[in-house]
Amino acid sequence: MTERSVTVLVTYQGETLGQVGPFPVTHPRWQQTGEVAGAAERLLGVPVLVLRLLAHGGTGGVGGEVAYHVEALARPAVTLEPTALEVGEDPLRALWATPDGLRAALDWAAERAGATGPAVQVKSWNLSGLYRLPVGEGSAWLKTTPPFAVDEALVIRHLGSVAPESVPVVLAAEPGRLLLGDAPGVDCWGLPEDGMLAAVPQLVAAQAALAGKVGDLPDRTPRALLTAFAELLPRLTGLTPEERAAADRLLAELPSIIAELSACGLPETLVHGDFHPGNWRFDGERTTLIDFSDSYLGHPAVDGLRPRDFLSEERWETVRRLWTEAWTAHAPGSDPARALELAEPLVHLGYAVRYQEFLDGIEATERVYHASDPESEVRAAIAR
C-alpha cells in the first residue's frame, strides 16, 4: 500500500508556530491520524492532537502528499520551519477539528469514563473522530460525530433491547459525542474464521424483532428514497447527458421496483447502513456490531447487500446464503433472494443521497473524500 508523505502545520493556544515535515507515514489512509500524531510528537517533543486535513496531493483519500493542522498541547522547544499553510476559517468546520472543541470532548470523555491516562488518537476526518481512553486495565472509546450523523446511542438502545450481546455498552452520550465501552476482538477484515459470520443471522434476528418499533429513526425507506433521489438528481452536475437520461429513466421505473420489492414480504426495520466486516468485531466467541452513524428506518436488503463489495466471491456466496436463510426463517413466505436483486439500484441511490448529505455538511478541504461519490453511486445504480 502507498505510504503518505505528511507535513503538519503546528499551532499552540491560537498561535501558528510553523510546520514540520514532510515525513513518511506507513498507513496510507488520510483519516487514520494516530500514526501522524505519534510521528509529530516525536519530532516536536510534546503531545499533539491532529485536528483536520489542510491540503493533499493524492487522490481518493489514500497515499500521496498530505498536510494536516495539529495543535500542540505544550509549547515545543524545537524550532519549526516557516509555513505557507493556513488554518483558515470555515462555517462547516467540525467541533473536533478545532483545538477548543476537541479538548472539550476529550475532557468530557475522560471525566465520564474515569480515564487513567491521556487519550490516544486513532482517526479524525469529516465524518468522525475516534479516540481510545485507558480505563483501568481496559479501554473506553470516544467517538465525535457531525450534526448529520444519526444518534448512535438511540440505535444502540434499539438493538440492545433485543440483542444486547451484539452492541457495545454506551457509557455516556451527548449530541456530537459518544462514549463507548470496549468491544473485544478485532475488526473482521479478511478474517478466515467462520465465527465472524454470526454477524449476519444475528443482525437479521434483531431486525425482525424491531420491525414496526423504530419509527424514531430517520426515514430512508424506499418511498422516502424515491423523493430524495428526485430532489438530488438536478444537483448532480458531473453526469453526462447520456447518464442523466438513464438516471431519469431509472427514476421513472423506481415506483414499480419499490412495489415489487415490497411484495417480497420483508419488513421495514432498523438498517445498520454500513454493514461490512470492518464494522463487525470478533473475539473468537462473540461478534459485536459497531458504527451506527448511518443507521435508519429502511429495507433490510440494504444490509444484506453491503458486505458483497468487501468479500471474495466465495465468501459473499456464504454471506448471501446465510442472509436469505435467516430471513426465510424470520419472515415465512417472504422472498429474500428476490429482494436482494431488486434492492441493488436502491442501495446505490441511497448512498448517492447520503454522500450528498456529507458534502452539504462538511468544510471545503474535507470534500475531497466524497466529491465524486454521488455521481459514482448513480452510475452504479444505472448499471444494476
pLDDT tens series, the chain, 384 aa: 577 899 999 999 999 999 998 999 998 888 889 999 999 999 999 999 999 999 888 667 888 899 999 999 999 999 999 999 999 899 999 999 999 999 999 999 999 999 999 999 999 998 999 999 999 889 999 999 999 999 999 999 999 999 999 999 999 999 999 999 998 888 877 666 677 788 999 999 999 999 999 999 999 999 999 999 999 999 999 999 999 999 999 999 999 999 999 999 999 999 999 999 889 888 888 889 999 999 999 999 999 999 998 888 988 999 999 999 999 999 999 999 999 999 999 999 999 999 999 999 999 988 988 989 999 999 999 998
pLDDT value for 384: 82
pLDDT value for 310: 87
Take residue 151 and report the three cell numbers written for it: 444518534
What is the distance between the alpha carbons of residues 164 and 63, in angstroms, rounded to a whole number? 39
Pick the CATH number of 4-72 from 2.60.40, 3.10.20, 3.40.50, 2.60.120: 3.10.20
pLDDT value for 282: 87
* Contact call for residues 254 and 226 (beta carbons, < 8 A): yes
Domain ranges of the chain: 4-72, 96-181, 186-383
Architecture of domain 96-181: 2-Layer Sandwich (3.30)
Superfamily of domain 186-383: Aminoglycoside phosphotransferase (APH), C-terminal lobe (3.90.1200.10)
pLDDT value for 193: 64
Angstrom CA distances, 316 to 214, 285, 291, 304, 308, stand at 29, 21, 21, 10, 5
Overall pTM surpassing 0.85 (yes/no): yes
pLDDT value for 217: 97
pLDDT value for 191: 64
